Structure 1
Amino acid sequence: MSKRNSAEAKRAARERLRAERERQHKRARLRRHVTVAGSVVATLAVAAGVGVAVAGRDDGGDSTDWGAVRAQIEDGENGEPASGDYPIEAPAGATGDDGLTIRIGQEDATNTLTLYEDARCPACAAFEQGVGAEVRQGLENGDYAVEYVFGSFLDDGQALGGSGSKNALNALGAALDVSTEAFLDFHDALYSEEFHPEEADDAYADDDRLIEIARTVPELKDNADFERAVTGDTFAVWALRMSDTFDADEDVTGTPTLKFNGEVVETPRTAEDFTAMVEEHSDEAE
């Protein structure tokens, strides 16, 4: 999936977000007033023995105010986001001075495979379905450590729009906060043939859908802490900062992009091609 022109689209999207931020806050305040009023009416109705259905009931979806999340980042100082409505901490499994590195594998691994992906990207799903098992095997064998960098440029594209990439990234952060194994299994589930949506389908904007998929992962099944982090946007700020890291890498022009020991390599289409790539570039590194 090409990232060409995505920087311009991202800037335009940010301007739209800034312009819309106040309107979103007004809507949020209105919803709070309606909720309070609805609660009062419901209480009175119950006392009178009458059932009440409150209009505007939330049946799922992404309720995150991504404009407010962006504002917290932009209002921060010295590279740190400002305090606000959304938590600013990184998942427990993240590393680096800014908590934006997802590195999994042996600490003393000689080689490093870096994967750049977008949760909605169909080419990423094809790569993971065809080569992902081989990537996991090499990781477990200690052939390399794997670093993951996630973008959300598909959300901001003029042709698509939405928030599924950002919302899925918040959920991936929640899984990483549980354990690296939970993160890897949830990552694989999101890109699986069973669950990955069509590119134009913003299914991952729905918290309930992400939780449904996560329940196929042993460590995340009925995990209340994980589910609260998904629905409560615990890692929304971290998700946008991770996406900014993705955008800042000028070597990355599309997804998936692979780097081996810091150099971009051709994306393998088969497990055999991937093994050959690792062997070739590992020899160069040693």
Structure 2
Amino acid sequence: MSGSKKDQQRAARERLRAERDAAARKAKVRGRLLVSTAVVAALAVVGGAAWYIARPSADAAAAEGPLVRPAHTTGADGVVVPYGKAGSEHVLSIWLDPRCPYCAGVETGLGKTMKQQADAGTYRIEYHFASFLDGSLGGKGSKRALNALGAAVNESPEKFMEYLNVLYANHPEKETDDKFGSTATLLELADQVEGLRTPAFNKAVKELTYMPWVEKVSQQFYEQDINGTPTVLIDGKKIQVNSGKGIESISPGQFTKLVDEHIG
């Protein structure tokens, strides 16, 4: 491994730790403060001095709204998105951040194989998501993409799988590109999934309906102490799915061999 790559990985770990600390602080502050999101602006006069209270962003306001759990999700508050046969003996757990280019490499390289194996009953897939890149790099693409994915799984698990594949197939080359921060882009990409653009889906994407759910999903990443994305586990045992060649994943054949070795 080159020194440059080691430096990049070390920097990524440091960003992740910083984001975890920031999320913890945010949770504490949120527990102490209650700010009305209905107020656009207010002037409070205290001792003759005027204080300006700015309107929170649309994303922040939406995140403070009521929790709406998408259909077809499991776990506390629906933080897990399952795909496959509920009675499957084995579970493939996948942790992804929508803005993560390495996650895009895994989904585009192995997503089809994973779906086929889940359909065959080899295992059930459980998708978990993170949004730490929004905090590390700035922007809102991870969380807005997660909101759209929540709207997709609310339609059906199959629509979710198709839309997830479309998002990663159209992933920006650099994680610093906040492409998914645009709801117009997310809706445009949804046109590639037949039948996804229902009135309910469109409304949820535009109005950020699932943002409180996104916060719950994102927090689980920190609580489970996952070190980064993508992380893939079969029955709780981590398997390496990146090839080491840029963002490329291992081949479907190599992946299948790893799965066979772990489940017998």
Q: 1:145 aligns with which of 106, 112, 124?
A: 124
What does the per-residue CA deviation read over 1:103-157, in whole Å, with 9 as the maximum and x for residues that have no partner?
Answer: 1111110111000000000001111111111111111111110000000000010
User: Secondary structure at the residue paired with 2:151?
Assistant: helix
Structure 2 CA distance for partners of 1:138 and 1:16, relative to 1, 3 Å = closer
What is the correspondence of 1:89-100 to structure 2 with a 5 Å cutoff? Answer: 89-100=68-79
What does the per-residue CA deviation read over 1:202-231, in whole Å, with 9 as the maximum and x for residues that have no partner?
Answer: 01111111000011101213x111010111
1:212 aligns with 2:221: no
Kept after mapping to 1: 8 A contact 2:85/2:121: yes
Moved more, 165-174 or 2-11: 2-11
Kept after mapping to 1: 8 A contact 2:59/2:208: no
One-letter code of the match for 2:188?
E
Deviation, structure 1 residue 13? 6.4
1:201 aligns with 2:177: yes
Deviation, structure 1 residue 24? 10
User: Secondary structure at the residue paired with 1:191?
Assistant: helix
Moved more, 265-274 or 164-173: 265-274
TM-score by length of 1: 0.73
Kept after mapping to 2: 8 A contact 1:4/1:254: no
What is the correspondence of 1:1-286 to structure 2 with a 5 Å cutoff? Answer: 2-12=12-22, 29-30=40-41, 64-66=58-60, 69=63, 72=64, 86-157=65-136, 160-192=137-169, 195-197=170-172, 198-221=174-197, 223-250=198-225, 252-268=226-242, 269-283=250-264
Kept after mapping to 2: 8 A contact 1:211/1:227: yes
One-letter code of the match for 1:219?
G
Structure 2 CA distance for partners of 1:108 and 1:117, relative to 1, 3 Å = same
User: Secondary structure at the residue paired with 1:88?
Assistant: coil
Unmatched 5+ stretches in structure 1:
31-62, 73-85
Deviation, structure 1 residue 179? 0.4
One-letter code of the match for 1:220?
L
Structure 2 CA distance for partners of 1:244 and 1:180, relative to 1, 3 Å = same
Deviation, structure 1 residue 67? 6.4
* Partner of residue 4, structure 2: none
One-letter code of the match for 1:12?
A
Q: 1:220 & 1:89 partners in 2: Cα distance?
A: 19
RMSD: 2.6
| Percentage of matched positions with identical amino acids | 35
Q: 1:167 & 1:65 partners in 2: Cα distance?
A: 8
Q: 2:36 & 2:102 partners in 1: Cα distance?
A: 33
Q: 1:108 & 1:23 partners in 2: Cα distance?
A: 44
Kept after mapping to 2: 8 A contact 1:3/1:153: no
Q: 2:35 & 2:135 partners in 1: Cα distance?
A: 19
Q: 1:13 & 1:112 partners in 2: Cα distance?
A: 28
Structure 2 CA distance for partners of 1:68 and 1:234, relative to 1, 3 Å = closer
Kept after mapping to 1: 8 A contact 2:37/2:61: no
Kept after mapping to 2: 8 A contact 1:7/1:247: no
Structure 2 CA distance for partners of 1:145 and 1:4, relative to 1, 3 Å = farther
Deviation, structure 1 residue 102? 1.2
One-letter code of the match for 1:270?
S
User: Secondary structure at the residue paired with 1:147?
Assistant: strand
Deviation, structure 1 residue 87? 3.0
Q: 2:72 & 2:121 partners in 1: Cα distance?
A: 19
User: Secondary structure at the residue paired with 1:29?
Assistant: coil
Deviation, structure 1 residue 191? 0.6
Deviation, structure 1 residue 274? 0.6
